[in-house]
Structure 1
Amino acid sequence: MQHIIDRFISYVTIDTESDASSNTTPSTKKQLVLANLLVEELKKIGLEEVTIDENGYVMATLASNIEQECPTIGFIAHYDTTPDFTGANVKPQIIQNYDGGDIVLNKELNIILSPNYFKDLLQYKGQTLITTDGTTLLGADDKAGITEIVSAMEYLIQHPEIKHGKIRVGFTPDEEIGRGAHKFDVEKFGCDWAYTMDGSQIGELEYENFNAAGAKIIFKGKSVHPGYAKGKMINSMLLASKFISKLPKKEIPEKTKGYEGFFHVVGISGSIEETTVELIIRDHSAKKFRKRKEFIHKLAHRFNKKWENQFGAEIVIAEVKDQYYNMKEKVEPVFHIVEIAEKAMKELGIKPLIKPIRGGTDGCQLSYKGLPCPNIFAGGHNFHGKYEYVPVESMMKATEVIVKIVEITAAKK
């Protein structure tokens, strides 16, 4: 256990926050600190063909130890952390033999991780938890996944009696800003299929995710002296507010779950003459996803029609861009790769929790690049904020799942 704790802490104490405003890959140079550390660690534990390319993608190989032909499979995790909450100066706290009560993350700031609010905590009574100190995120998303992959490879090297085919591991930058798979060289990776270790609670196994798009909507206005503005001023901020009010009120993240899609306003800024609204569009159904995008364009058209005489041009400009798609379409034709992961969990006494991802992973984009890639739990909870935590036992189980998957794959005829 201590070995996994030490490895995980060595990763999360390195700041790897990505930056959506950057045009480079990785989006932040500090991500390369961990990437280069991983290169050295993979070499040290005995992996072969360890590489890092100019974009920060790390790959390595564990050679097959069997003579018969066997599929080459991969395991992937991302090393960046979200820009939604600071990942600088992470100070992990270790809670041994968790008693099921409140955990004081920061006494001075009165920040408490409580099972009264985060009920999943009670699943882990008696276990060892790693939490934040209440001032940063933890980074279990996805440094828990990295910990598990590296630990599993190390275990397989130390136990050559466990038979396996060729295994590839890959670590990516910028997943949290939607670019983790953009420059991933699937051909170089050379796998029949792979798994991302990027899920949450123990047992999660996912092969469905949202179809995703981002919308940038620009509202124009006219500024005149407010004392003489009647019939002349057009306040773009108020126009944007009216537009937002026309979005379906029950189709927002706070009021949806499961397969239900949503519109989510993520940013608004502006002045009288110009306001920009950014929102994301999500739906599991391809048909409903298409209709959601059409709705934005139709709504913009209605506003333009209403204001065309007074403004004299398009007053609302809507740009909608697809971000990623539901991997289900690419995974279902090779569904045995999900069944192998499910079998591995069951053999280890883990109840598989097969459910749709209300988000995306590198795996969804990789699946559309020709590498089918379901998602497996990494163990963490409450990602992207100060209440993030991970049970050490969950990381240990995820490590065992990786080992069991390669065993089953090698034995499968």
Structure 2
Amino acid sequence: MSKVVERFLNYIKYDTRSDENSESTPSTPNQIEFARMLAVELKSIGMENVSLDNNGYVMATLPSNMDRKVPTVGFIAHMDTSPEMPGKDIKAKIVENYDGGDIILNSEKNIVLSPKDFPELSSYIGKTLITTDGTTLLGADDKAGIAEIITAMEYLVDHPEIPHGTIKVCFTPDEEIGRGADHFDVEKFGADFAYTMDGGPLGELEYENFNAAGVKVVINGINIHPGSAKDKMKNSMLIASEFINMFPKDETPSNSEGYEGFYHLVSINGSVERTELRYIIRDFGKDAFAERKAFVRRAGETLNQKYGEGTVEIEIKDQYYNMKEKIDEARHVIDIALEAMKAEGVEPKIKPIRGGTDGARLSFMGLPTPNIFGGGHNFHGRYEYIPTFAMEKAVEVIVKIAEIVGKR
């Protein structure tokens, strides 16, 4: 078993789910426990300036072995796993020499990972896969990225003949709840550019992502005894249904792909007097993103004109922006990743992220940070799996990026 696989199987023993309802940083104490372990491991493989701050960010440095100054490159991964699925007591299953058929994850609960549902499995016939047992997620998002980065750093320490400049690594908390870059100290990190090892299948390279906003809609009603409610009651839930029906039916996640944006109703909680709706808004284009936010506000204004001012209250908060405009200013960062992938026999698959990463926010904080594959599939759920050779290729790509930067 390769070192990267051993590390990954050890890391997924830690339950590091983040918690969006927590106001602490990190949002769960288990992330700090995992961070402490990673800091010890980084020291043990020969990394320098290893630190763990009060917010749970682990940073370390591999010094340059060059006799001239070259750019400093960083590699970043996040420690938390999604709160959408249990991440405790993960019982990973290793499927060697996959035969292309159904994989029984859990016979008792009849949970099957099937190429009928996930046709990309057919690409991995003859390969070794790591899957869940059907009751938890696997944690490849992003413990695979952490394992790949540390294994690559260890390889560079053990092979000083490979030229490289200064390399920085950072492991962040709470990426899954949108807070991964909240307390990231870009100046302390000290890289000229970086890569998040947080992508999906082998070959993915992403430097475009959604512009994103969160929307809170509060609809205020008036509750009157139904026996005497004529012309007095204002049922906030019925007004909420009007609001929902004002949105275009085909601009939802289930009806969009590629570069198409959407409005996504995430939750409803209501009574006659008060109903709260939560939406997220996503679009790749800056102008289209602005128009989507304006549409939401116009919908609220229309209902306020109908039912009275203050009936609908809307709060919109931008969450992150499309990193493409920042990456375009540092195109060499993409060129280096492409060169490294091709050198290691990996076919690059450039595609937009229909979501966001720490790299999107970091790019707007002065650190251009595109996203590279970690190798996994079906993140955040019971059908998550990862081919072991994809993790090994990710290690090779990290090493090659370091070497390319060192030779420039």
Residue 10 in 1 paired to residue 22 in 2?
no
- 1:276 is matched with 276
* Structure 2 counterpart SS, 1:323: strand
In 1, the alpha carbon distance for the partners of 2:405 and 2:355 equals 28
2-structure distance, mates of 1:162, 1:2: 21
Residues 1:121 and 2:121 are matched in the alignment: yes
> What letter matches 1:261 in structure 2?
G
Superposition pairs for residues 196-215 of structure 1, below 5 Å?
A: 196-215=196-215
CA RMSD of aligned residues (A): 0.9
Matched, 1:344 2:340: yes
CA distance in 1, matches of 2:205, 2:105: 30
> Aligned equivalents of 2:164 and 2:187: distance in 1?
21
Residues 372-413 of structure 1: CA deviation (Å, up to 9, x unaligned): 00100000111111111111110000010000001111111x
Does residue 1:393 correspond to 2:389, yes or no? Answer: yes
Give secondary structure in 2 for the equivalent of 1:74.
Answer: strand
Cα distance in 1 for partners of 2:239, 2:13 equals: 44
Matched, 1:55 2:55: yes
Task: In structure 2, give the amino acid aligned to 1:403.
Answer: V
Distance 1:167 1:3 in 2: 20
One-letter code aligned to 1:342: L
Q: Residue 30 of structure 1 aligns to a residue in which SS?
A: helix
- Return the offset for 1:124: 1.1
Distance 1:221 1:120 in 2: 49
Tell me how far 1:233 sits from its aligned partner: 2.0
What's the counterpart of residue 33 of structure 2? Answer: 33
Alignment of 1:5-404 (within 5 A): 5-308=5-308, 313-404=309-400
Whole-angstrom CA distance in 2 between matches of 1:121 and 1:226:
57
Unaligned runs of at least 5 residues, structure 2: none
**Equivalent-residue separation in structure 1 for 2:226 and 2:100 (angstroms):** 59
DSSP 3-state at the match of 1:14: coil
Q: Can you list the C-alpha shifts for 1:183-214, whole angstroms capped at 9, x where unaligned?
A: 00000000110000000010000111100000
Letter of the structure 1 residue corresponding to residue 291 of structure 2? K
1:117 aligns to what SS in structure 2?
A: coil
Which range is displaced more, 15-24 or 369-378?
Answer: 15-24
Shift, 1:101, TM fit: 0.8
User: Displacement of 1:84 after TM fit?
Assistant: 1.5
Shift of 1:2: 3.4
Cα distance in 2 between the residues matched to 1:259 and 1:84 = 25
Distance 2:231 2:127 in 1: 66
* In structure 1, distance between residues paired with 2:389 and 2:154: 18
Q: Which runs of 4+ in 1 moved over 3 A?
A: none
Q: Distance in 2 between matches of 1:113 and 1:318?
A: 42
Q: Write the distance in 2 (CA, Å) between the matches of 1:372 and 1:306.
A: 47
In structure 1, what residue type is equivalent to 2:392? M
Q: Is the 8 A contact 2:284 2:322 kept in 1?
A: yes
2:21 maps to amino acid: S
Q: What amino acid does structure 1 have at the position aligned with 2:339?
A: K
Tell me if the contact between 2:18 and 2:83 (Cα under 8 Å) persists in the aligned partners. Answer: yes
Whichever residue aligns with residue 62 of structure 1, its letter is L
The separation in 2 between residues aligned to 1:248 and 1:29, in whole angstroms, is 42
- Please report the TM-score for the alignment, with normalisation by the length of structure 1: 0.97
Structure 1: how far apart are the matches of 2:251 and 2:119?
25
Q: CA offsets per residue over residues 80-138 of structure 1, 9 Å max, x none?
A: 01112221221111111111111111111111111111111111111111111111111
Classify the secondary structure of the residue corresponding to 2:298: helix
Aligned residue type for 2:136: T
Match of 2:402 in 1: 406
User: Could you list the per-position Cα deviations for residues 19-45 of structure 1 after superposition, in whole angstroms to 9, with x for gaps in the alignment?
Assistant: 111111101111111111100110111
> What SS does structure 2 have at the residue aligned with 1:294?
helix
The 8 Å contact of residues 5 and 391 in structure 2, kept in 1 or not, is answered as no
- Percent identity at matched positions? 59
5+ residue gaps, structure 1: none
Q: TM-score, normalised by structure 2?
A: 0.98
| Separation (CA, whole Å) in 2 of partners of 1:403 and 1:306 | 62
Partner-residue secondary structure (3-state), 2:355: coil
Structure 2 distance, partners of 1:235, 1:110, is: 44
Q: Distance in 1 between matches of 2:271 and 2:60?
A: 50
How many residues are aligned here? Answer: 408
Shift of 1:230: 3.0
